[in-house]
Structures are given as structure tokens and as C-alpha cells.
Amino acid sequence: MNRTAPHSASTEPPAPLQEDRPSTAMPTYIAAILSVVRVLLGYGKHLDEILPDRASHKHFPTLAAGFGTHDVRRILGHIQRGILRAMMLERFLLARAAQGRDIEPVERPAPAEPADIEGLELKLPAPSQPRAKHGKKADPNDPMHFAIPTLKELESQVRRRNVGRTIAEIALDLGVIPSFCAGATLNDILGALLHFGADLEQFFGIQTSRRETFRKQRDNRSAAPIRDWQDSPRDAFRELVGHLIGEPPPAASLAGPG
């Protein structure tokens, strides 16, 4: 990974799985999830490699808006955390597949019927003394609380959280937004989020909040705000990165920063 990361946490990539286990057919849902994880992982590694040389590119703001900041070091920290999380999720999925265990989609609750609501008996608790206020829970998307977990912490998170939440965290750490994705890849990512337990409202809310934060920062950088980062983001992203997420990289090497 890039050595310009803002943190020096000892987070070496997890060791590869042993290959001496008998091969089994890949479970259906795990195969689909793995495809999404590997696309995100490949994109993250590519971004980690090229980004230090692209910070001065004319289209860098289009990418930076997905992270909510112009700070390249902070962006690289998010990317490297996303890479580690994706590697750990891939490892977890392969280990589960080797046991012949699939991951079932999370069933979303159906809308409540009016008759069900009317039949509810609300039991209000007796008034009690107000609890002492504790500090707010740290927001992992707040730059003041940014940290790269240890591999042990990442493994614990991947094992205890549903897959959709982990994929959402990876996508957020990589600054993925719909306009950066090839059509089929976007459908695959959204499908993984929708069917495997991600909080879509929170996911898109964070994306929107980041772009709004970036817009304010961008406006404050100039007396005459430049909003070109919002123009044709798909074309700008392809020119900056070389290809959309999910597209094969071009055969020729990318040109230098514009």
C-alpha cells in the first residue's frame, strides 16, 4: 500500500488461505458477493496506486467529492482501510465457502398493515430518573475519529456484522458513488447492499453529507466558487482513473496527470 498513509497502524494484509482443503462448489450467494468484493478490492488497489500522482489532475475534485475532503492523505487513509476491510471480507467468504456454507439474504420486514397497528397495545414504562448523559458515540466517518483497525479488530467486525453493512463500509471508504460505476457493477453493488442487510438510508445519507461538505469547502477556496467538479462526473472520473468501476482497465498505460 502507499506509504503516504496518515496512520502507522500495523495492518499487514491477512495471510492467504491454505490450498490443501478439498475443493467444493462455490455457494451461489457467496459467489455473487465475492464478485462485488473483488471488483471493489481491485478498484481500491488501483486507486491507492495512482492517486498520489493524480492530486493535481484537473478532475481530482470529482473524485475527492465522494470522500468529502480535498485532503489527499485523509483520502488515502480511507482507501487503505477499505482495501484491508475488503481483503478480510474476501478471506471470510472463502473460508465459509470452503465449509459449504452459503450466506442467505436478509429478509426485509414487510410494511405494517393498519389493522396490525390498531391491534398493538402500547405499554409505556413508568417515569424514571433521567440517565446521566454520556458522550456521543464516535462517528467513524468523522475525520477526528478516523482510525485503521487492527487485523484482529477487522476480523471480528466482519464476522459479527452482516455482509451488506461491511460492503457499505468498503464502498464508503473507497468513495464509490453511482456515477463512477459501470451499469452492471452498480446493479451488483446495490443488490448486495439491498439483500444482505445494509442500511441504505444511512449509506446514501453519508454520501450526500460528504458531497455537501465538499461543496462548502470548495466554495470557501475561491471568491468565485468553481463547480466544475459537478459537471459530467462520469466522464471526468474515467479520464482521471482510466476506467469506470467494473470496467476492465485499458490495455495502454494511463497518461500522466492533466
At residue 161, the 3 state secondary structure works out as coil
What's residue 94's pLDDT? 96
Torsion of CA 19, 21, 25, 29, to 10 degrees: -80
How far is residue 24's CA from residue 36's CA, in Å, rounded to a whole number? 20
Give the model's pLDDT for residue 255: 45
142 DSSP assignment: S
Backbone phi and psi for residue 104, each to the nearest 5 degrees, phi listed first: -85, 145
Q: Which segments of the chain have a pLDDT < 50?
A: 3-11, 19-20, 22, 223-225, 252-258
Q: What is the pLDDT of residue 153?
A: 93
Integer CA distances (angstroms), 249 to 126, 177, 192, in order: 63, 19, 23
What's residue 146's pLDDT?
Answer: 73
Burial of 184 (0-12, 13-18, 19+ CB in 10 A): exposed
What pLDDT score was predicted for residue 91? 96
Report how far residue 1's alpha carbon sits from residue 5's, in angstroms, rounded to the nearest whole number. 8
H-only helix segments in 51-162: 60-64, 72-98, 114-118, 151-160
Please state the length of the chain. Answer: 258
CB count in 10 Å sphere of residue 222: 8
Q: At 181, is the secondary structure helix, strand, or coil? A: strand
Distance from C-alpha of 116 to C-alpha of 197, rounded to nearest angstrom: 25
Q: CA 29 to CA 160: how far, in whole Å?
A: 18
- Residue 86 burial (C-beta neighbours within 10 Å; 0-12, 13-18, 19+): buried
User: Partners of 245 in the beta sheet?
Assistant: 181
Residues 6+ apart with CB under 8 A from 138: 145
Question: ∠ CA 146-148-152 to the nearest 5 degrees?
Answer: 140
- φ, ψ for residue 235, nearest 5 deg: -65, -40
- Record the cell numbers describing residue 1, joined without a space: 500500500
Instruction: Return the pLDDT at 231.
Output: 73
